[in-house]
Structure 1
């Protein structure tokens, strides 16, 4: 188990080093009906090697490899953006049940709308 956690941490850190640039286009934050808007350090296709490695370690199986997956995510408050603003990628995700490690089915969110 410790080996899996160490490997997972290594993959997560490697992913952070290649984080995607900030994109400010997408749906308005108010249209995220699946839960709080997430701030993810990286958003990649489910078919990417980093996402595949994390999914394998966690035992996650998905059918659609054409969806975006957020990595190392935390919920943000849209109201009062001040200290809770997202400097990485703000997204609205269909499945946030993996405690911030991964968020599945993500769509970019424009926090200024």
Structure 2
């Protein structure tokens, strides 16, 4: 009889402590002056099912030996009326068959990966005119 009572009391204590411990938040513990509990791991990482790392592309990104790749709104011959007007205003004299990029901005490495050039990607010999016009441009594929 004594052992039954002892086992019953022990089971009651274990049930009470475990029920109180599971329902108590760290905020409640800290409000009573107790230290917070260690974080519980709510998930387990599955082995072999982990996301694979992206593999580098076998194709190197395009590059220009004359400076950064440019994204131009249009690429025209220097004889084109719009290009000729800009060249004249800047005091530049070019041959009629020289390709020029109009309204250009440089592409960054991030931009190349994201394909952010919605116009024409080019490699130009002279990008020193503030993005208004780039001279000696060759279209490239990103």
Instruction: Give the alignment's TM-score, normalised by structure 1.
Output: 0.66
More strand by share: 1
Q: Give unpaired runs (5+ residues) of structure 1.
A: 1-27
Which runs of no fewer than 5 residues in structure 2 stay unpaired? 1-59
Match of 2:71 in 1: 39
CA contact (8 A) 2:63 2:69 kept: no
Q: Which one has the largest radius of gyration? A: 2
TM-score by length of 2: 0.53
CA–CA distance in 2 between the matches of 1:57 and 1:70?
Answer: 16
What displacement does 1:109 show?
1.0
* Cross-structure match for 1:76: 107
Alignment-derived partner of residue 86 in structure 2: 54
Q: Tell me by how many angstroms 1:81 deviates.
A: 3.0
Corresponding residue number in structure 1 for 2:97: 66
How far off its partner does 1:65 sit?
Answer: 1.6
Bigger RCO (CA 8 Å, 6+ sep)? 1
Q: How many residues align?
A: 83
Matched, 1:105 2:125: no
Deviations 1:47-85 (A, max 9, x none): 1111111111111112x2212100000000234535571
- Aligned mates of 1:79, 1:88 — CA distance in 2: 17
Aligned-residue Cα RMSD (Å) equals 2.0
Runs of 4+ in 1 over 4 A off after TM superposition: none
